[in-house]
Amino acid sequence: MNVFALNFLKKWKMPLLVASILCLTTPVSAGEMIKVFSWWDFISPEAIAHFKNKGLQLDITEYRSNEVALSKLLSKNTDFDIVIVSNWVSTVLEQNDVIDSVSLNQIVKKRDYFPFIKEAKAHFSCIPYLWAVTAYVADTSEAKVKNMNLKTLESLKSKGFNIGIIDDPMEFGAIALLSYDEACTKKLSSGQLFDGIDMCGFPSSSSISNAFKPADFRNSIKPLVDRKSALYGWSGELGEAIENLDFMNFVEPNHKPIVGFDSVCILKKHSGNTKLIKLVEELTGKEITKINAEKMQYFSAYQNLKVNYGKKIENLKRNTLERAKKETPIVLSPPPLATQKKLNDWWQKIRYGKN
């Protein structure tokens, strides 16, 4: 996480300047550009064409890091209409009065989402969009493993495997806790993993830095998908990359699944804008969700929506949902500020090799 992102994160529980965040804007009219801030490759060309045919032009700005997204959305320079963000990021935005917390409530109440998504947030300011699970893949013709965690990845690296890790500090911190301190994390409740960080402590940054170097953390997984490789990241990108490779397969984690879901939010300066409400309702509706889920191989938040996933990603979804019946998945929520500071310092040492 960069310094300016951390500075904004430190203000989570502090009100933002009303003049900078709640500025008045003119309503969006047909044919006008609607500015969308989204994870990369999260809205398919087909969906963009669909809205264009209805007179709605989407001007999409993409990002690749929760920290970058959060710092930008908490700044006074925000110039977007709607945003697609991770569930814990939307919680922070709501705490800071940045998003419209009323307009989408009635739409959410009418929809049937997976239980772990419902339980993650009793009150929705934003609409759940797509979800995924952290996952491991490996060349199973070379790696004779039935399940994996980061220690397994470390072991495979020592055996000459090319490894890759794609993640943000919070998610990687959760995986590291589950991989390197199983005894302690078993005492913590599924939804509050970081609340017990002072009891468990992060795994030693020096020990993980010895196992994983900054070069092991990548922005794209695809260049690494080859013989004798093992990778960790989010299921959508992994599934898309390995679907047609017989030697690469998902490997079951030996810890609880970590689930992340993304939501579509309207920024508060557009509260009550009927055109934006309608656009979000349709973007997250079953027709467009199906198109986008099939394109990106992320999972729909709807309980009952038939989506044609690749065989490998479909099996991963089935296994994750079966496990969810026996053990509640970990759905990340914002950690306390003091824990966030510890996490950031820890991440800087591991991800960027900083002292």
Domains (ranges, CATH) in the chain? 3-131+261-309 (3.40.190.10), 132-258+329-352 (3.40.190.10)
Extended strands (E) in the chain = 33-39, 57-63, 82-86, 127-139, 147-148, 162-165, 229-234, 248-253, 258-266, 299-300, 330-331
Identify the pLDDT of residue 312.
96
Cα 91 from Cα 72, distance rounded (Å): 15
pTM for this model (two decimals): 0.83
| Residue 21 pLDDT greater than 60, yes or no | no
Picking from 40-54, 223-237, 339-353, which range would have the lowest pLDDT averaged per residue?
339-353
Largest CA distance in the chain: 60
pLDDT at 16 over 50: no
pLDDT tens figures, 65-85 = 888 898 899 986 778 999 999
Q: What is the mean pLDDT of the chain?
A: 83
pLDDT in tens, 203-223: 776 678 888 999 999 877 777
Q: How confident is the model at residue 317 (pLDDT cuts 50, 70, 90)?
A: very high
Q: What is the mean pLDDT of residues 273-284?
A: 94
pLDDT at 18: 29
Give the whole-number percent of the chain exceeding pLDDT 90.
46
The band of 197, judged by pLDDT with boundaries at 50, 70 and 90, is: low
Higher pLDDT: 185 or 52? It is 52
Q: Under a CB-based contact definition with an 8 Å cutoff, are residues 313 and 243 in contact? A: yes
pLDDT tens for 298-312 read 999 998 899 999 999
pLDDT of residue 329: 82
- Write the CA distances from 189 to 48, 203, 333, integer angstroms: 40, 19, 12
Least confident of 124-133, 217-226, 244-253, 267-276: 217-226
Instruction: Tell me the pairing of strands 147-148 and 258-266.
Output: unpaired
Split at pLDDT 50, 70, 90, the class of 230 is: very high
List the single range of 20-29, 158-167, 252-261 with lowest mean pLDDT: 20-29
Amino acid 191: pLDDT: 52
- Give whole-number Cα distances, 212 to 89, 100, 163, 185, 231, in Å: 27, 41, 9, 22, 12
Q: pLDDT at residue 14 above 90? A: no
Spatial distance between the Cα atoms of 39 and 68, rounded to a whole number of angstroms: 11
